[in-house]
Amino acid sequence: MNGVNKQLEKIGDTPVFVMSALKFERSGKVDEIIIAAPADEIPRFEKLARNFGITKLSAVTAGGETRAMSVRNALERVSPEADYIAIHDGARPLIETGEIERVFADAEKYNAAIAAVPATDTVKIAAGNGFVEKTPQRGKLYYAQTPQVFKRSLYMSCLEKLGARADTVTDDSSILELCGEYVKITEINCCNIKITRPDDLAAAEAIYSNRKTVKMI
């Protein structure tokens, strides 16, 4: 994003991270929202969240150098009464509340579930020399997205078992997989894009504008 904090960029009039949080705010499955933000911007994130009506915000915690560290920091602020935790990329603002609740429903049934979409492209596995080594069957491939919802006690148990190994994963469900646990795939809408580059922000704005138009008809 050329040095720009993508979480604070706007889609319409709403900051990206706020739009994500609002989808959880509207879910009856969610009791509290914890946001991991850059340590020097915690007051700004908290103020924006409050101003945009995130009433379930319970904490804004400092993010870490890696995704895993950010998640660990946020987990420390989760209420002891919580049975399930949902981990979501704040940079995926186009998730729908109904999709969040479907992932929760699968997690409540199977202990762990992740939002994902079927792969539409053929994926190649490359060898170290840059040549194709293998082409897996596309029908079995999914793009892992978020939210990812887990029974809290199971997730914490796997974190403890893996120790430092857990800090190297880029996908939270991998923590359970490494412990031999099953993770249910919940298929969701293909438009739950993650804003990583400037073009992604433009695409998200277009999808958001189209959704607003459709809902007005």
CATH of the domain at 16: 3.90.550.10
> Is 103 part of any domain?
yes
What are 86's strand-pairing partners? 149
Q: Are the C-beta atoms of 176 and 148 separated by less than 8 Å?
A: no
Helix (H/G/I), strand (E/B), else coil: 181: coil
Please give the Cα distance from 118 to 134 (Å, whole number). Answer: 19
Phi, psi dihedrals of residue 76, rounded to the nearest 5°: -65, -20
* pLDDT attached to residue 74: 96
Query: So what's the pLDDT on residue 217?
Result: 45
- The reply to whether 128 falls in a domain is yes
State the chain's maximal CA–CA distance in angstroms. Answer: 53
Which helix (H) or strand (E) segment is 21 a member of?
Answer: helix 16-25
143: Cα within 13 Å, side-chain hemisphere: 15
Q: Pick out the chain residues at pLDDT < 70.
A: 1-3, 215-217
The label of the residue with tokens 């949080």 reads: 21
Domain residues for the domain of 201 are 6-216
Is 94 part of any domain?
yes
Residue 64 is assigned to a structural domain of this protein? yes
pTM over cut 0.85: yes
The answer as to whether 136 is a domain residue is yes
Task: Note whether residue 1 is domain-resident.
Answer: no
Tell me the three state secondary structure of residue 133.
strand
pLDDT value of residue 151:
98
Number of domains in the chain: 1
